[in-house]
C-alpha cells in the first residue's frame, strides 16, 4: 500500500535518493530543502505526489509552519525522515564559535525541533514511524570531527528517550547509522582554519586525508537507502540501523571496548554505594 513520507534535506545525498526511490515505487513525498528548485525535474515528473517546501532547519518557527502545512495538505504522513545535516571538520581548538553554533543548530537542535514538530500530528493520527539519520559517528569517533560527533551522539540520546515517551501512541523510531558512502556529503563539509600546532597529530592526519580524498568510501548509497525503506516494514521498528560493513565492524569494536571497560570497573562502581543501601 502506498505511503506518504516527509523528508528533510531532500536536495541531495540520502534525502534525494529516498525521494526518488519512493516516488518511483508509487509513494507520495513531502520534501523540504533550502533550494526548492533542486527538485523541479521530479516535480514535473510526479506532479501532486511530490509536495515541496523551502526549509532551513535552524529556523524553528519555519519548521512548525512547514510541518503544519505538510500534514494539512498531504493528510496522513506515515513516515518522517529527519535527514538534514552536514559535516564540520577541524580540531576542537581550531573551530570558530560561529562554526560550532551552526553545527549544533543544524544537526542537533534542528533535528530535535523537526521531531518535536511532527509528534503532535503523529500522535493525533494514531502513530507513525520516524527515521533519524545519524551516522556511525553517533557511536564511534574520529579526530577532527568532535562537534559533528557531539551532535550525532546527542541526537541519538534524544531519540532513545523520546521513543520511550511516545511508544504508547504508536510512534516508533529508527536511528540510521550509515558508514562512509559515495554521496555528496564530502562536498558539503565545512572546514576550520588549521593551526600549525595540530599538523603532526591525528587531527592533522585526518585533515590531510580529507584534502587528498584518500578515505575509502565503500558504502553504496542506493543500497543504504533501500535498507532504510525496507526497515519501515519491520515491526517492531529497529532502534538502530547500521549500514555498511566498515560501519558495522567499527561500531561493534567500539561497543565491545566500552563494555570491557565498564566490566573492569564493576567492583569500583559497587563500592561507591551507601553502606546501608
Active-site annotation, residues: 134, 148, 152
Phi, psi of 7 (to 5 degrees): -130, 125
Q: How far apart are CA 235 and CA 83, in angstroms?
A: 22
Cell of 156: 541519538
Cell of 17: 535518493
In this structure, are residues 60 and 115 in contact, taking their beta carbons and an 8 Å threshold? no
C-alpha torsion angle, residues 173, 38, 3, 219 (rounded to 10)? -50
Q: How far apart are CA 221 and CA 180, in angstroms?
A: 9
The DSSP bridge partners found for residue 178 are: 243
Amino acid at each position: 500500500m502506498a505511503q506518504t513520507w516527509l523528508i528533510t534535506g531532500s536536495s541531495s545525498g540520502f534525502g534525494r535518493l529516498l525521494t526518488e526511490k519512493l516516488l518511483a515505487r508509487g509513494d507520495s513525498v513531502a520534501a523540504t530543502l533550502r533550494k526548492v528548485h533542486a527538485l523541479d525535474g521530479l516535480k514535473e515528473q510526479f506532479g501532486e505526489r511530490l509536495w515541496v517546501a523551502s526549509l532551513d532547519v535552524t529556523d524553528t518557527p519555519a519548521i512548525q509552519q512547514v510541518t503544519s502545512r505538510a500534514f494539512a495538505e498531504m493528510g496522513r504522513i506515515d513516515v518522517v525522515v529527519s535527514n538534514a545535516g552536514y559535516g564540520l571538520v577541524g580540531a576542537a581548538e581550531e573551530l570558530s564559535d560561529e562554526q560550532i553554533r551552526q553545527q549544533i543548530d543544524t544537526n542537533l537542535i534542528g533535528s530535535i525541533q523537526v521531531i518535536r514538530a511532527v509528534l503532535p500530528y503523529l500522535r493525533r493520527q494514531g502513530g507513525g514511524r520516524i527515521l533519524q539519520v545519524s551516522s556511525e559517528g553517533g557511536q564511534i569517533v574520529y579526530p577532527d570531527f568532535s562537534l559533528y560527533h557531539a551532535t550525532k551522539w546527542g541526537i541519538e540520546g534524544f531519540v532513545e528517550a523520546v521513543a520511550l515517551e511516545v511508544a504508547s501512541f504508536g510512534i516508533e523510531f529508527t536511528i540510521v547509522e550509515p558508514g562512509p558512502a559515495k554521496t555528496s556529503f564530502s562536498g558539503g563539509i565545512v572546514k576550520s582554519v588549521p593551526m600549525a600546532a595540530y599538523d603532526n597529530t591525528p587531527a592533522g592526519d585526518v585533515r590531510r586525508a580529507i584534502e587528498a580524498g584518500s578515505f575509502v568510501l565503500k558504502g553504496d548509497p542506493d543500497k543504504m537507502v533501500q535498507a532504510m525503506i525496507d526497515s519501515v516494514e519491520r515491526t517492531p521498528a529497529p532502534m538502530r540501523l547500521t549500514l555498511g560493513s566498515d560501519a558495522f565492524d567499527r561500531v561493534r569494536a567500539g561497543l565491545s571496548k566500552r563494555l570491557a571497560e565498564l566490566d573492569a570497573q564493576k567492583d569500583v562502581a559497587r563500592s561507591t554505594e551507601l553502606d546501608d543501601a
